[in-house]
Chain A
Amino acid sequence: MTGLNRRTLLSAAAAAPVVLRHARGETPIKIGMPLALTGPSGEIGQQMRHGAEFWLKEVNAAGGLLGRQVALQIEDTTGDPATCVRKAQEVVERDGCKLLFGMVLSSEALAVVPKLAEWNAIFMSSDNGDGRLTGSSFVPNFFRANISGPMETRVISLWLREGQMKKFFALGMDYAWGHNSIGVFKDEVTKAGKTFLGDVYSPIGTKDFSTYITKIRQSGADGCFLVLQGDDNAAFLSQAHEYRLSDRVQLITSIVDLNSIHAVGDAAIGLAGSTRYVATIDNPANKAFVADWQKQFNALPDVFEGEQYQACKMLQAGIEAAKSIDAEKLRPALEVATIDSIKGKIAMRACDHQAVQGGYIVKVKKQDGAKYPVPEIIATFPGDKVTPACRQMTFES
């Protein structure tokens, strides 16, 4: 009998630390983050990872969430929706994550959101642009902390209405994104009472843009809207600079980010467009964030690093208010969450889970002493003008 007793004692002793750890709440809160780290969207994924890890360090140093440390479970999806669904399923079922970040592409997010209810997991998006996620494809466990694609276009059109430019031309990459974006732009320009002169599309992987540059010049436009990305964008900007195109035409793009500015250097000077986040936003929260970021990385935070940090803070506010990470308790708390974000006051909206926030127009300028040109804010538009009506993707006026 002593043997049995000893065994009971031993197993009780072995179990004690586990029980104690649970009692003190020391198992970490795990957040799954399936995102494209390699492939064409890898750069955005890397930025999102950076932003989330920065927040993780900050929150853990301050004692974690609900007294528990926070951990990220990061997986590479390569930007493929099918892989993304599989990886998301893995982090939920294998690693027990009930909270999700990540999913670089909207196509990935659209593939994942129908599963959220079954997994009983909350997904806080930091970069998905597709309007449908808070519209026709809305699900209760999806939240969008970032500015959406339709909101971005809206910011540009509000800016154009106020501005001096009258005639516009457009150049886009020859696939769905280029054609869609230019279609929306054309619509907005016409609604604003300005002239849309025409558009041209370059095949993906175009190396020589000189004929397109000639066409833009010949059109006689005041402004040219660009829907280009990656290598094509870098090649176009380099060659537009070579031809001194921006001396005659204002180049406008839907997203101005540090990455493409760093890729082309001075060739980016003069480029104007909307941006989701820029380090020069003037408020105390952003100043503190930028200062900390610079201390750690000796660089300015880029667009998706800032957007991811904002999404993390939004989720943090929800968890702290709900005092739980259970989807049923967290959802109502997130629906009324308001934070003093790096982009000012941001409020989550209960009706479609879109965070209401303002938009920025920046222009790339040369700054003395800086290695690269920097985007400067030239116009700001408030959240109530930029955010569409609930579950809508278009705007009335």
Chain B
Amino acid sequence: MDVSAFLVTQSLNALSQAALLFFLGCGLTLIFGIMRIVNFAHGAFFMLGAYVGWSAVGLTGSFWAALLFAPILVGGFGAAFEMGLLRRLYGRDGHAFLMVTFGLTLIMGEAIRLIWGVNALQVEIPKLLSGIVFILDEPFPIYRLFLAGAGIVVAIGIWQFLERTRLGLLIRATSQNAEMVHALGTDVRLVRSAVFGIGCGLAGIGGVLAAPMVTASLGMAPNAVIDTFVIVIIGGMGSFLGSMIGAVLVAFVQVFGSYFFPDFAMSFMYLIMATILVFRPGGLLGKEA
């Protein structure tokens, strides 16, 4: 295999991984930016997305229907959780949120075990995307190209949503000064529920998209939540652009690190995070130290 083919295919692969990480990271950072809540259950919502996606594919026979249905259900569940439980805790300090969202992770994990069982569940790649293309004579799965594309489309979509729509404006305003937005006659509580729901829904999309590659399994949540926190810490808590940069950085480091230095594959990600924290304690684009 020549060097250019290797570099191109592995870079494309890293971009596809970055897309998955971005779905997780941008939801988490959005929630933190608006609500100052560290959502420990984010990995569990990702996992729920994969399982709901599996069931939706089984019921409708269509991966695309699952891609539409799962985020709505996962996002709806997230919003309901915010309204039912988190809302009662806003007067308390941050520890309360950590405890409650961590508790939710455990409950969701057990509930998924009871509903879907202990075995990993395979979601088939839709026919349209199941082939391989040859890039400089190297085989590359079409599905991974699709993932990278989906990541870019969703990133642009969220950016436009935050910049151009009224809800986007309210979300940005709430993150700057919630009390003022409230005083101007907007129900900040609804904005918060919507943001929590959207963040969880994004994790749900990530779950459905990851399922054909890693299967829906009970180990998804803890794995995902660690990577997501690293991304958000690198990018800066609450920064949308930061989560994008963090996802790309982590994905490239993981892919090339595991190829050239397989024995240290895991440590590179943390090394980068530690280095960034030394020079920029708030993360690359974070405001607070």
Chain A nearest CB from B77 CB (Å) reads 23
Q: Is the CB of B10 within 8 A of A214?
A: yes
> A205 near B: Cβ within 8 Å?
yes
Which residues of chain A are near B217, meaning CB under 8 Å?
230-231, 234, 263
Return chain A residues, CB-CB under 8 Å to B215. Answer: 231, 234-235, 238, 263-264
A287 at interface (Cβ–Cβ under 8 A)?
no
A-contact bits for B2-30, CB 8 A (1 contact / 0 none):
00001001100100010000000000000
Question: Bound state CA distance, A264 and B258, in angstroms?
Answer: 24
Partner of A211, one of B1, B132, B258: B258
**Chain A residues within 8 Å of B220, by CB:** 231
Contact present for A230 and B219 (CB under 8 Å):
yes
> Which residue, of A215, A238, A262, A265, has the highest number of chain B Cβ atoms within 10 A?
A238
Binary interface encoding of chain B residues 184-227 relative to chain A, with 1 for a CB under 8 A from any of its CBs, else 0: 00000000000000000000000000101111011110010000
B10 touches A238 (CB 8 A): no
Which residues between 103 and 149 of chain B lie within 8 Å of chain A, taking CB atoms? 118-122, 124-125, 132, 139, 141, 143-144
A42 at the B interface (CB under 8 A): yes
A212 contacts which of B141, B214, B258, B263 (Cβ < 8 Å)?
B258
A210 touches B119 (CB 8 A): no
Asked if B213 contacts A242 (CB within 8 A), the reply is: yes
Interface size range on B against A: 35 or more
Among B13, B223, B266, the residue within 8 A (CB) of A210 is B13
The closest CB in chain B to the CB of A233 belongs to B120
Contact (Cβ within 8 A) A205 B10: no
For residue A203, CB closer than 8 A to chain B, the reply is: yes
Q: Which residue of A has the minimal Cβ distance to B13?
A: A210
A57 in contact (CB, < 8 A): no
Are A238 and B122 in touch, CB under 8 angstroms?
yes
Query: Are B223 and A214 touching (Cβ within 8 A)?
Result: no
State in angstroms the CA–CA spacing of A200 and B259 once bound together: 10
The answer to whether B213 touches A215, judged by C-beta atoms less than 8 angstroms apart, is no
Residue ID in chain B nearest A261 by CB atoms: B122
Given A203-B265, A231-B217, A235-B215, A242–B125 Cβ distance below 8 Å?
Answer: yes
Count contacts on A: residues with CB < 8 A to the other chain. 34
Chain A residues lying within 8 Å of B61, measured Cβ to Cβ, are none
Q: Does residue B254 face the partner (Cβ distance < 8 Å to A)? A: yes
Q: Once the chains are docked, how many angstroms separate the CA of A210 from the CA of B138?
A: 13
Q: Please tell me if the beta carbons of A211 and B17 are within 8 angstroms of each other in the complex.
A: no
Given A231-B214, A242-B141, A267-B122, the answer on whether A205 and B219 have CB atoms closer than 8 Å is yes
| A259 interfacial by beta-carbon distance below 8 Å | yes
* Chain A interface SS verdict (over half): helix
A195, B236: Cα distance in complex, Å: 50
* A191 interfacial contact with B, CB 8 Å: no
Q: Mark A176-220, 1 if CB is under 8 A from B, else 0.
A: 000000000000000000000000111101111011101101100
- A364 CB → nearest B CB, Å: 14
Report A20-78 residues with CB < 8 Å from chain B CB.
42-43, 46
A244-B218 Cα distance, complex, nearest whole Å: 26
- Closest-by-CB residue of B relative to A259 is B119
- Among the listed B121, B144, B266, which residue makes an inter-chain contact with A203, where contact means beta carbons less than 8 Å apart? B266
Is B255's CB within 8 Å of the partner chain A? yes
Q: Mark A238-270, 1 if CB is under 8 A from B, else 0.
A: 110011100000000000000100111111000
> Quick check: B118 and A263 within 8 Å, CB to CB?
no
> Does B94 sit at the interface, judged by CB under 8 A?
no
The answer to whether A42 and B120 have CB atoms under 8 Å apart is no
Asked whether A208 lies within 8 Å of B17 as measured between CB atoms, the reply is yes
Within 8 A of A (CB), among B68-114: none
Q: Are B122 and A265 in contact (CB under 8 A)?
A: yes
A360-393: CB near B (< 8 Å → 1, else 0) gives 0000000000000000000000000000000000
Determine whether the beta carbon of A43 is less than 8 Å from that of B118.
yes
A208 CA / B217 CA spacing, docked (Å) = 14
Residues of B within 8 A of A43 (CB): 118-119
B213 and A262 contacting across the interface, CB-CB below 8 Å: no
The answer to whether A208 touches B259 (Cβ under 8 A) is no
CA distance A230 to B266 in the complex (A): 19
Assess whether B259 is in contact with A214, with CB atoms less than 8 Å apart. yes
* Chain B 141-173 residues near chain A, CB threshold 8 A: 141, 143-144
In the assembled complex, the Cα of A212 lies from the Cα of B260 at a distance in Å of: 11
Q: Which residues on the B side are within 8 Å of A263 (C-beta)?
A: 119-122, 215, 217
Distance of A203 Cα from B254 Cα, bound (Å) = 12
Which residues from chain B contact A243 at a C-beta distance below 8 Å?
132, 139, 141
Contacts of B9 in A (CB 8 A): 214
Identify the interface centre among B118, B122, B219, B262: most chain A CB within 10 Å of its CB.
B122
Closest 9 pairs between A and B when the two form their complex, measured CB to CB: A263-B120, A234-B120, A211-B259, A235-B214, A234-B215, A231-B219, A242-B141, A231-B217, A265-B122
Some 7 contacts from A to B, beta carbons below 8 A apart, are A208-B13, A210-B255, A211-B256, A211-B259, A231-B220, A242-B213, A267-B122
